[in-house]
Chains A and B, each alone.
Chain A
Amino acid sequence: AQSVSQHNHHVILSEAASLELGCNYSYGGTVNLFWYVQYPGQHLQLLLKYFSGDPLVKGIKGFEAEFIKSKFSFNLRKPSVQWSDTAEYFCAVIPSGGSNYKLTFGKGTLLTVNP
């Protein structure tokens, strides 16, 4: 079975700082990868996803993530964070193709951006 590890439980940054949130997964085959975000008091929203092709994917609000297959990683980045990026971020994986449909989530990383 697959698993997802998010290394940082809580990250605190000042506005305009650069962000990188780590995500590693464990699975022997090909996967589809996702980052979801949960803003305070709101529901989970899709930030970006990788299925195939260019390993550098761009999402909403200036976020991007790079899939590095050799490292089983899918780190989330943003060059300059804003106070409004304060939220919890979840990395998730699902084996691609076949009859796979269960998303496996990491424990989440809480990002606090101080103004």
Chain B
Amino acid sequence: GAGVSQSPSNKVTEKGKDVELRCDPISGHTALYWYRQSLGQGLEFLIYFQGNSAPDKSGLPSDRFSAERTGGSVSTLTIQRTQQEDSAVYLCASSTGLAGGGTQYFGPGTRLLVL
């Protein structure tokens, strides 16, 4: 079946611009996660959505970062006023939502470069 899809695959932007990254989870998965993969920092958790519950935003690095999930499916991660340190690969994952036991399946990521 179809896996997690993300778009765009690559994004180059100028410092100060806003960007939107999209994630389409596996059909039927109620849980959706955003992670960031950057050199020197490894993979970091950003935000978690589960069904209609309030998202866990505890991993977002600043208030320039926000995310939403419409209709319990597609999610958009928005970075406002991008900075060079935002350059990274942004990964989306989804799972069945079983706490602790739901295996997370990852998308191909969006590689963001802020000039």
Contacts and interface: CB of A to CB of B under 8 A. Distances in A.
Interface of A: 32, 34, 36, 42-46, 49, 51, 90, 92, 94-108
14 contacts: A43-B109, A45-B106, A49-B103, A51-B101, A90-B43, A92-B43, A96-B101, A101-B56, A101-B95, A101-B100, A102-B56, A105-B42, A105-B43, A107-B42
Contacts of A32: 100-101
Contacts of B93: 103
Contacts of B50: 101
Contacts of B61: none
Contacts of A42: 108
Interface residues of B, number: 24
A48 to B, nearest CB: 10
B99 interface: yes
Contacts of B56: 101-102
A46 B103 contact: yes
Interface of B: 31, 33, 35, 42-43, 45, 48, 50, 56, 59, 91, 93, 95, 99-109
Contact of A101 (B43, B91, B99, B108): B99
B72 to A, nearest CB: 16
**Which of B31, B43, B99, B108 has the most CB atoms of chain A within a 10 A radius of its CB?**
B43
A94 B100 contact: yes
B103 A97 contact: no
